[in-house]
Every structure is written in C-alpha cells, then in structure tokens.
Amino acid sequence: MRSLARDRYLIVYTDLDGTLLDAETYAYEAARPALEALRRHRALLVLCSSKTRAEMEPLVNELGLRAPFIVENGGAIYLPREDFAAWVSEAQWCGPWGRIVLGAPRARVLACLSDLKRRLAVPVVGWSDLTPEEIAGECGLSLEAARRAMRREFDEPFRIGSEDSAVLSRLAAIVDEHGLHLTRGGRYFHLMGASDKGRAVRVLADIMRRRFGAIFTVGIGDSGNDVPMLAAVDLPILVRRPSGEPDPDAVRLIPRACVTLGIGPVGWNEAVLEILAEREGRWDS
C-alpha cells in the first residue's frame, strides 16, 4: 500500500455487492473488524452503489453511518441534513436527507431501453420487464428486498442475449445516440444518464472539502462500473472477485489500483485495516 496523507481527513468510498457485501449472501460479517476500525478512527465511509435509495438507506442505518451515500451508479447523492445542511446549498432538503440529482429521469432511460429492444436482433430484458419474484430469483434476494431494488429513479439494469463484440458495439452506439451512459456491473448492464460513480464522487469531494478541509480519498470496488469511482480517488483498490481474480477490465483501466489478496468482504477488510495501520505508522511495506 502506497504512502498515505496522514494529515488529511480520510474518506472511503465503497461499492457494495461483491465488495463490502458478499456477492452471493450479501453478508458483511467478514468486514466487521474494518468497519469498527473506521468508526474508531472517525473516518467517513460513503456507500456508492447501483442500488436504490430504498435499498441503501436501511443499510446505512444498520451500519450506524452518519454519512452521505451515492445511489444508482451516481444518479443521486443523499446527505444527512444534521451534518451537511450548513455546507450544501445545492441539495433539495426533505426530512433528514438532502438530495443532489445528477442522473437522467427514468422515463428517458426507459425510452432508450425500448429503442434497444427494437433495434437489436437479440433479446434485451430490463428490470422493468420482470416481476419482483423473477428479480428475487435471479439475484438471490428476498421478495421484499427485490421490491426495494425495483424502486429505481435513474438507472435501469438489463441483460442482453449475446456477448458478441459486434452486438455490444451496436448496443453502445445506440445508447450514445440517446446521450445516455452504459456500464456493466457484476450481473447486469446498467443504462443511465450522463453521470456515473466518478462524477458523484467528484461532486461529493467538493462538498467534503467545504466540510472538512483537506481530504484523502480511497475507493474500493470490484467491477467495471466502479472504474469511474476508482479513477476519481487518491487511492483506488480492487477487491478480487469470487473467481479469485480481479476484474480484468478494471485492472487494465486503473493500472495504479492496489489489488487485495482476499475476495469480497474478506479483501475489503484486509485493505481497510492496512490503510488504517499505515496512517498510524504501523505498516512496513
């Protein structure tokens, strides 16, 4: 792990599925030591995921976080009113949260999905085509969790019935015609507006500097849709996937990224504890 700026406020941005959360069970028990260590060090943990607000807000509360979180691949940023209202004039405040919208309206995203179905000669299936029961079965979720996952505002997960390079190039070209953005996560492609995790991280970094002064940012992810986030932080970290290898596209696109030894939350725990040890001057590498 490279030298860290110990005099700057530490902010850790993290993906969820396959990173902080196990890719199959969605458990984070293996990461609990690092979560507790971050709390002791008063570092800020910012969840940054393709998940919806309806999915992420309960997890934020369960983890006991008082921090912003980023939903739907950068579609919006949510900030706790109590800690950030005095520093953020651009948010829409409602109840305990403020929201900064960066993504495109869902109607525009779904119009592009319809065009993909019409113009591509292979099946294209979006979440809007599926029932909660089908999504629960595909993703290993409870029915209630699947319903929360379907409450999307800015992003549409979908699958396509071909991995042919010509089909994927055509897919990207059509999305570009609509002025939208395409990324790929662990299970699905994601269709969204001209925003991504990286833009959200940069917007939030400006807010964090207003709030805390000098900051040092870490990003932890495992897949292609984390690349913009990893490119936007001081220290990018790639967690190994269930295959035991890191995502090859992410490795290629972020060559400066550190790669964990462990998989999923085990690797996440390893990386965060190493960062905190180095900031304390207890790491000799």
Q: pLDDT value at position 6?
A: 73
Please state the rounded mean pLDDT for residues 214-236. Answer: 96
Domain extents for the chain?
Answer: 9-103+200-279, 106-192
This model's pTM is above 0.85: yes
In a 3-state reduction of DSSP, which class is residue 194?
A: coil
Measured between alpha carbons, how far apart are the two ends of the chain, in Å? 7
Strand order across the beta sheet in which 189-192 lies: 124-126, 155-160, 189-192, 181-184
Q: Provide the mean pLDDT of the chain.
A: 93
Tokens of 45: 């943990």
**Among 101, 55, 106, 108, CA closest to 195:** 101
Query: What's residue 185's pLDDT?
Result: 76
Q: Using the predicted structure, report yes or no on whether residue 282 has a pLDDT greater than 80.
A: no
**What Cα–Cα distance (Å) separates residue 69 from each residue in 47, 76, 101?**
5, 9, 12
pLDDT of residue 285: 38
Average pLDDT over residues 274-278: 94
The topology under which CATH files domain 106-192 is Threonyl-tRNA Synthetase; Chain A, domain 2 (3.30.980)
Give me the mean pLDDT over the 111-136 stretch. 96
Which CATH fold would you assign to the domain 9-103+200-279? Rossmann fold (3.40.50)
For residue 207, pLDDT beyond 70? yes
Is 274's pLDDT higher than 50?
A: yes
The pLDDT of 121-127, averaged and rounded, is 95
- Distance of alpha carbon 158 from alpha carbon 43, whole angstroms: 35
pLDDT band at 183 (very low <50, low <70, confident <90, very high): confident
Which pLDDT belongs to residue 4? Answer: 63
Catalytic positions, please? 15
**What contacts 77, CB < 8 A, 6 or more positions away?**
68, 69, 70, 71, 91, 99, 100, 102, 200, 203, 204
Residue 49 pLDDT class (50, 70, 90 cuts): very high
pLDDT above 90 coverage of the chain, percent: 88
In the chain, % of residues over pLDDT 70: 97
Give residue 184's pLDDT. Answer: 84
Q: What angle do CA 280, 267, 276 make, to 5 degrees?
A: 10
Tens digit of each residue's pLDDT (9 = 90 or more) over 69-78: 999 999 999 9
Distance between CA 19 and CA 266 in Å, rounded? 9
pLDDT of residue 283: 42
Q: Could you read off the pLDDT of 1-44 as tens digits, one per residue?
A: 555 667 899 999 999 999 999 999 999 999 999 999 999 999 99
